[in-house]
Amino acid sequence: MILLQLLACATFVAPQAGPHQVSRATPSTTSAPRASSESSEDAARAADQELARELAIIVRRARDPKDSERSRLADAIARLGDRAIDPLLGLLEVRRVPAVVGDQPVQVLSVYQEQIVFEGLERIGADKALAQMDRRLAVAAEERRRLAALKVFGRLGERDRMERMFALAAPMDDEPADEQLVGGLRASLAVLLARDPLALPRLNSTWRSIDPALLEPIVFALGELRDGRGLEFATDVAFSHPELVPVVAAQIVLIGRSPDSSVNARAIEFLRETLDVSEGHLASNLARALAVLEDDGSVQRWIDFLDAESNSLRSAALWSLVHFSKLEYSPTPALWQAWWDREQAWFDAEYEPLLADLDSPDAGKATAALRALATRHVRRHEVAREITRVLSDERPALRKLACDVLRELGSIDALPELALARLDEDPAVARAAWSALGSLSGRAFELESPEWEALVAAREP
């Protein structure tokens, strides 16, 4: 019951009275108004306690709900209206769900219960919840409140909340970073970045203003996000903070290639130079990162690493070769060398003539070239960039086939051109480009949605 009273009363914190406001604590000059005031306060406390009890009943039912119950429970919270916002935010702070009958144990707020709380807040109004969280922070900003605010901003806020999140998690004065706040930032930022397609470009544009103590958890958040647009941030951080290179190399394996080919080229150059002076576990992570970025210039080095003394480097070399080639050869250097020699021979003999055929006035020749290039995996991103020029061909059938081939090649380097091609005047070309965009990006925006441009933006517009 004590916890229920705390949830009902202590979470409703009013701002301090301003210079032109009358404080509720101001003594009354007559006894009758004072009695009336006390009666009103008693009624308000009783209403608060009843609201807290109703919320506790709903949230306790969400301990491990079936999918069919989730929406019903969130709707039940939403029906309580704006007055439920503050106690819900208080619940996210204390993370304890009080008993509603005498013999019930207090519950630690579970993941499911937290989700229902947020779904309820979303139904009431995200803007209202964010504004109330701001008011709570203005009154007090102890650690548990800042942790709750990070979650609220990540789940309900947009990209304009990121700077506030960094301020909440940043170390104060000369103190070391708070591990809980840093962990909260990492998790909440990953949620916000996944929700707002323009948040990542904004992060790329403003990273230099972020407290250096927060760069590592942000890089980890980008790894959890697995969005290639985060490669720019990760590369900039590694270049400016060499001590973070091991973290960045490991996370690039998860982040992957950027849709901006210039970012990929810069990252590859930096990783190659760093690998030249690295060894052991770091060298292994750098080799894997280069494989994920599909650097054909590193293939020979991976083959050579199959004979390395380090077991971790030999393992990384084999992983890199398999990832790059999509072949399952044994770790035999001669076998991989023979494969690589064949690939290079094909490009020396066939590649340039096929690229020339892409521009042929003979539609049959251009079609054959597109189909032949679609079978390549080595240098596929380079091949994809060459094929994108066919998207401007005057023949709709070739433009459509180019979209299909780009989808088959699977290179996100073609996303910017495909985003434009989805607006092609020919409906069949537009649909093929849209289908390729969805396949390559994993997104399902409508064909004419401006979110496609946001997805491939390198920087905030």
Picking from 121, 125, 188, 124, the residue whose alpha carbon sits closest to that of residue 161 is 188
Average confidence score pLDDT of the chain: 88
Which pLDDT belongs to residue 207? 83
Same domain, 380 and 292: no
Which pLDDT belongs to residue 5? 47
Same domain, 4 and 150: yes
Same domain, 385 and 449: yes
Among 313-317, 351-355, 436-440, 445-449, which stretch is predicted with the lowest mean pLDDT? 445-449
0.85 surpassed by pTM:
no
Which pLDDT belongs to residue 159? 92
On whether residue 345 sits in a domain, the answer given is yes
Same domain, 58 and 152: yes
Greater confidence, 29 or 269? 269
pLDDT in tens, 102-151: 788 999 999 999 999 999 999 999 999 999 999 999 999 899 999 999 99
pLDDT in tens, 374-412: 988 888 889 999 999 999 999 999 999 999 999 999 888
Cβ count within 10 A of residue 66: 7
Same domain, 266 and 297: yes
Which pLDDT belongs to residue 437? 92
On whether residue 18 sits in a domain, the answer given is no
Confidence band of 196 (pLDDT split at 50, 70, 90): confident
Confidence band of 189 (pLDDT split at 50, 70, 90): very high
Same domain, 138 and 112: yes
Same domain, 310 and 230: yes
pLDDT in tens, 101-116: 878 899 999 999 999 9
Residues 84 and 105: their CA atoms lie apart, in Å, by 23
Q: Is the dihedral of CA 334, 336, 337, 339 positive or negative?
A: positive
Same domain, 74 and 135: yes
Q: Of 268, 299, 331, which closes a domain?
A: 331
Same domain, 308 and 367: no
Contact by Cβ (8 Å): 343, 378: yes
Which pLDDT belongs to residue 65? 63
pLDDT in tens, 8-48: 444 433 333 333 333 333 344 445 556 566 677 777 677 88
Which pLDDT belongs to residue 413? 87
Over residues 277-287, mean pLDDT: 94
- Number of domains observed in the structure of the chain: 3
Which pLDDT belongs to residue 180? 95
Which pLDDT belongs to residue 34? 60
On whether residue 409 sits in a domain, the answer given is yes
Tell me which residue range forms the domain holding 74.
Answer: 1-11+44-157
Which pLDDT belongs to residue 36? 63
Contact by Cβ (8 Å): 62, 102: no
438 contact partners, CB below 8 Å, separation of at least 6: 444, 445
On whether residue 25 sits in a domain, the answer given is no
Same domain, 6 and 125: yes
Which pLDDT belongs to residue 23? 34
Same domain, 327 and 266: yes
On whether residue 305 sits in a domain, the answer given is yes
Which pLDDT belongs to residue 19? 33
pLDDT in tens, 434-454: 999 999 888 888 888 887 876
Which pLDDT belongs to residue 37? 66
Same domain, 63 and 142: yes
Greater confidence, 208 or 34? 208
Contact by Cβ (8 Å): 237, 248: yes
Which CATH number fits the domain that encloses residue 363?
Answer: 1.25.10.10
Burial status of residue 274 (CB atoms within 10 A of its CB: 0-12, 13-18, 19 or more): buried
On whether residue 192 sits in a domain, the answer given is no
Give percent of the chain with pLDDT exceeding 70.
89
On whether residue 109 sits in a domain, the answer given is yes
If you search the block for the tokens 């706040």, which residue do you land on?
181
Pairing of strands 96-97, 107-108: antiparallel
Q: Of 137, 157, 177, which closes a domain?
A: 157
The two structure tokens encoding residue 92: 């996210």
Q: Which pairs count as long-range contacts for 313-322, CB under 8 Å and 24+ apart, including other chains?
A: 313/279, 313/280, 313/283, 313/284, 313/287, 315/284, 316/283, 316/284, 316/285, 316/287, 316/288, 317/287, 319/288, 319/291, 320/287, 320/288, 320/290, 320/291, 321/291
On whether residue 172 sits in a domain, the answer given is no
Over residues 62-68, mean pLDDT: 72
Q: Of 288, 308, 331, which closes a domain?
A: 331
State yes or no: pLDDT of 354 exceeds 50. Answer: yes
Over residues 175-201, mean pLDDT: 91
